[in-house]
Amino acid sequence: MTVLSPSAIRAAVQSRGPGLAALFDQLRQDGLDEPGVSRDPYGQGEQRAHASVAHVADAMGLEIDRDAAANLYMTLPGRDRSAPRLVIGSHLDSVPHGGNFDGAAGVLAGLCAVGALQALGVTPDRDITVMGIRAEESVWFQVSYIGSRGSLGTLPDGALDVRRVDTGRTLAEHVAECGGDPAALAGRRRYFDPARIHAYLELHIEQAPSLVEAGVPIGICTGIPGNFRYPEARIEGSHDHVGLPRRFRRDAAIAGAEFAMALDTLWAEYEARGIAMACTLVRFHTDAAAHGLTIVPGSFHFSLDIRAYDPAVLAALEAQVERIIAGIEQRRGVRFHLGTRASAAVGPVHPAIRNGLENAAKAQDIPVLLLGSPASHDAAAFAAAGVPVGMVFVRNENGSHNPREAMTIEDFLDGCAVLTQWITDAPVLPSV
């Protein structure tokens, strides 16, 4: 690829700013559902976002394509069209009443990068495909990475039969309505051969305020965490009268509280040692059916999600959880039933991409922080399929999955400049 000056790249990226700000506004209008936006996957919200993005891509002269999962592909042709392509993407759905940037920023960053190349009059070495991915937010269908795994032919068995929690209709019905091909999806017909993808890059707003705290606009991702999860765990104790003295009680809720505090203490220890992890009890509750009764809670329910960046750390954490449970069972006369275990492997970020992004930021004179991604992203589905992946995070004040997401267009364009610089540096990726 032509060698370009960082300042020329920067100017080309900046020139896309007003158009992209307008597209962000359009997406907000498309999905408006006060408070915030709702881009329901395989529903009206996501459909409108796909239409608006495709309209802009078409006006840019990009090649438009769609697959069985109704993902959107917008390609700037390269010199060697047979070379493995570069994919830049993220998802266009949102959580209910979410923010405007979680997901969409990554798609618009792809458009920004290819638009900047167009403005620079550069034809890339290989095709660059900007991907608008379907249905990343698992809240709707309770299945993760539907769009990205659909494109890779790695959707799990039975995924087409799950029902959207609000409509009660199956994923197959929803996909068909949006122009997809559920039968092909069920048959795992893939759009991408992972070996034909040079790399997958994703820009995403940071979902924590680490960059805000550090006063740095851009983060370069060092890894996507693996996890183990127990979505439907419970503790059985004894339903007893509230008059029962403490020494006789087998209170399942207090056992749950002790478990939560032990995990919180464990996390604080890891934090103090500088080992990144996260632990969340999303569900943590007594039986609603017993809430009217004046009884000591005899059963308690929780979900557990523990994530870390190192398989050895995950294994150590799982052993520690087992020891914590054994101690509580013995002290409090209760039994833990963890139920089904789910897990995801640690998603490695390709070291050459990470280094390349750091060098690109240096060339652009943009300060960066190296950050693990405690959240899950479509990049993890590509990494799991063997694709070299990299991620860029953009400073965001108020977390994500809420209407207060706050990314400035300036920070966004900084992220786009890093991406575009990386593309024009045309790195060769050694296999890891």
Q: Tell whether residue 97 is a contact of a copy of itself (CB under 8 A).
A: no
Task: Please identify which residue in 77, 209, 339, 403 interacts with a copy of itself, judged by CB under 8 A.
Answer: 209
Q: Tell whether residue 291 is a contact of a copy of itself (CB under 8 A).
A: yes
Q: Tell whether residue 305 is a contact of a copy of itself (CB under 8 A).
A: yes
- The two structure tokens encoding residue 354: 């990470």
Q: Tell whether residue 273 is a contact of a copy of itself (CB under 8 A).
A: no
Binding mask 137-156 for a copy of itself (x = CB under 8 A): -xx--x--------------
Q: Tell whether residue 274 is a contact of a copy of itself (CB under 8 A).
A: no
Q: Is the CB of residue 250 less than 8 Å from the CB of residue 332?
A: yes
What b-and-e string marks burial along 263-298, b requiring 16 or more CB atoms within 10 Å of the CB?
beebbeebeeeeebbbbbbeebeebeeeeeeeebbb
Count of residues interacting with a copy of itself (CB under 8 A): 63
Choice between 393 and 422, CB closer to a copy of itself: 393
Choice between 69 and 276, CB closer to a copy of itself: 276
Q: Is the CB of residue 205 less than 8 Å from the CB of residue 219?
A: no
Interacting residues of 322 by C-beta distance below 8 A, sequence separation 6+: none
Task: Please identify which residue in 11, 60, 119, 278 interacts with a copy of itself, judged by CB under 8 A.
Answer: 278
Query: Among 247, 261, 255, 224, which Cα is nearest to 388's?
Result: 224
Choice between 248 and 315, CB closer to a copy of itself: 248
Task: Please identify which residue in 15, 170, 210, 359 interacts with a copy of itself, judged by CB under 8 A.
Answer: 210
Task: Note the helical H segments in 32-122.
Answer: 44-59, 104-120
Task: Please identify which residue in 75, 400, 420, 421 interacts with a copy of itself, judged by CB under 8 A.
Answer: 400
Q: Is the CB of residue 347 less than 8 Å from the CB of residue 389?
A: yes
Task: Please identify which residue in 22, 51, 183, 295 interacts with a copy of itself, judged by CB under 8 A.
Answer: 295
Report the nearest approach of a copy of itself to the CB of residue 285 (Å): 3
- The two structure tokens encoding residue 235: 């503790």
Choice between 277 and 384, CB closer to a copy of itself: 277
Given the rule CB under 8 A, which of 6-14, 56-64, 262-270, 321-329 is the region that contacts a copy of itself? 262-270
Q: Tell whether residue 191 is a contact of a copy of itself (CB under 8 A).
A: no
DSSP secondary structure string, 245-312? -GGG---HHHHHHHHHHHHHHHHHHHHHTT--EEEE-S-EEE-GGGTTS-EE--EEEEEEEEEES-HH
Q: Is the CB of residue 303 less than 8 Å from the CB of residue 231?
A: yes
Binding mask 233-252 for a copy of itself (x = CB under 8 A): -----xxxxxxxxxxx--x-
Does residue 125 sit in helix, strand or coil? coil
Choice between 271 and 322, CB closer to a copy of itself: 271
Does residue 422 sit in helix, strand or coil? helix
Q: Tell whether residue 275 is a contact of a copy of itself (CB under 8 A).
A: no
Q: Tell whether residue 426 is a contact of a copy of itself (CB under 8 A).
A: no
DSSP secondary structure string, 137-148? -HHHHS-S-HHH
Q: What's the DSSP call for residue 179? A: T
Given the rule CB under 8 A, which of 78-86, 113-121, 208-216, 424-432 is the region that contacts a copy of itself? 208-216
Task: Please identify which residue in 21, 54, 184, 257 interacts with a copy of itself, judged by CB under 8 A.
Answer: 257
- The two structure tokens encoding residue 291: 């809430």
Instruction: Examine residue 84 and say whether the peptide bond preceding it is cis (omega within 30 degrees of 0).
Output: no
Report the nearest approach of a copy of itself to the CB of residue 185 (Å): 23
Give the phi and the psi of residue 171 in degrees, each rounded to 5.
-60, -40
Query: Among 409, 412, 413, 425, which Cα is nearest to 357's?
Result: 425
Task: Please identify which residue in 121, 215, 292, 430 interacts with a copy of itself, judged by CB under 8 A.
Answer: 292
- The two structure tokens encoding residue 361: 């930021």
Task: Please identify which residue in 70, 95, 116, 155 interacts with a copy of itself, judged by CB under 8 A.
Answer: 95
Q: Is the CB of residue 363 less than 8 Å from the CB of residue 10?
A: no
Residues 23-82 that bind a copy of itself (CB under 8 A): none
Q: Tell whether residue 320 is a contact of a copy of itself (CB under 8 A).
A: no
Report the nearest approach of a copy of itself to the CB of residue 94 (Å): 12
Task: Please identify which residue in 194, 374, 388, 390 interacts with a copy of itself, judged by CB under 8 A.
Answer: 374
Instruction: List residues near a copy of itself by CB under 8 A.
Output: 95, 138-139, 142, 165, 207-210, 238-248, 251, 253-254, 256-261, 264, 267-268, 271, 276, 278, 280-286, 288, 290-297, 300, 303, 305, 307, 373-376, 399-402
